[in-house]
Amino acid sequence: MQTNNTLENLIESLKCLPGVGPKSALRLAYYLLQRDRQGAHNLAKSIDESLNKLGHCQLCNNFSEEDTCKICDSQDRITDTLCVVEMPTDLLMLEQTHSYKGMYFVLMGRLSPLDGIGPKEIHINKLLERIKQSEINEVILATNFTTEGNTTAQYIAELLKETKIKVTRIARGLPMGGEIEYVDSGTLAQSLVERKKLI
């Protein structure tokens, strides 16, 4: 199929999005050009504005328009507890629970040597500096329960082993409202290991 350079560049640019291959990029390009040009203008403007205005919070490493984000600036947060997450989306999910009032640090990824992602790429030094410069009593490791997420949590825990800081990991187990017969064996096994005393 013949296309012009402008269209080819648009299709190629759309392929940078996760999960968007050549065919999806082609469909998206034609949709934006044919069906929603105003949407395309808004998208282009928002991306350009975000790239120009958004940086990283100096404390938690999350995206922010200011040097420090609203969470880090808030007077209502518990400052001696630090929750370490992989991505900003994880932070948002934890905030939606309304059950955590401490501070955060966003790694912007997880250790994955096969993909060339090491401690430097996930800002481990910045995390250690944040802990060193704050009066942190507990670090909660809230990385995902994937191989990479577990490796990342273990790596950070090892780095903090010699400190007096309490290092915890979010629990795994049965989901709220879940029924045992429908839960996979790995999750069920973990729920037994991490059982809590009631009486």
Q: What is the mean pLDDT of residues 76-88?
A: 96
Express as a percent the part of the chain with pLDDT over 90: 75
| Nearest partner of 139 among 85, 199, 76, judged by Cα | 85
Residue 2, pLDDT score:
52
99-136 tens-digit pLDDT: 999 999 999 999 999 899 999 999 999 999 999 998 99
Interhelix angle for 37-53 vs 22-34, to 10°? 110
Residue 3, pLDDT score:
55
Q: Which of 68-82, 87-101, 134-148, 183-197 has the lowest mean pLDDT?
A: 183-197
Q: What is the pTM of this model?
A: 0.83
Residue 189 has a CB neighbour count (10 Å cut-off) of: 13
Distance CA 54, CA 66 (A): 8
Looking at every residue in the chain, the average pLDDT score rounds to 92
Q: What is the mean pLDDT of residues 185-189?
A: 83
Which pairing describes strands 166-169 and 63-64: parallel, antiparallel, or unpaired? unpaired
Distance between first and last Cα of the chain = 71
Domains of the chain: 5-53 (1.10.8.420), 57-169 (3.40.1360.10)
